[in-house]
Amino acid sequence: GAVVSQHPSWVICKSGTSVKIECRSLDFQATTMFWYRQFPKQSLMLMATSNEGSKATYEQGVEKDKFLINHASLTLSTLTVTSAHPEDSSFYICSASTGHLYGYTFGSGTRLTVV
């Protein structure tokens, strides 16, 4: 089956630093990947849609200069949280499209804590 690997699973960083999260499709090519964030006891909020070889499409209210998304290959998308602040602490999850309509596979998520 389609497998998506997300790394790291958790990270603690100091305020003001940048953190990169990787999302890899291991056994399929994903032209489209999605990035979500989830606050405790809340829904998964779509942040952006990442398409291989083109700029990401950000949802309303998401700062594109703060959350940099790169989708340089068909198997890798990265999310960089720049100049992180404590309010950026959250659970970030990626998903990759398998090509089948609504065939999305999710990564295991990254718990980011900014101190």
Give the binding site for another protein (CB under 8 A): 4, 6, 9-10, 32, 34, 36, 41-46, 49, 91, 93, 95, 101-102, 104-109, 111
In angstroms, what is the minimal distance from the CB of 16 to another protein?
26
In the complex, least distance from residue 104 CB atom to another protein, rounded to whole angstroms: 7
Closer by beta carbon to another protein, 55 or else 83:
55
CB of 3 to another protein, least distance (A): 11
Contact status, residue 64 vs residue 58, Cβ threshold 8 Å? yes
Instruction: Tell me which H or E stretch contains 25.
Output: strand 19-25
| CB-CB neighbours of 19 under 10 Å | 19
Whether the upstream peptide bond of residue 86 has omega within 30° of 0, thus cis, is no
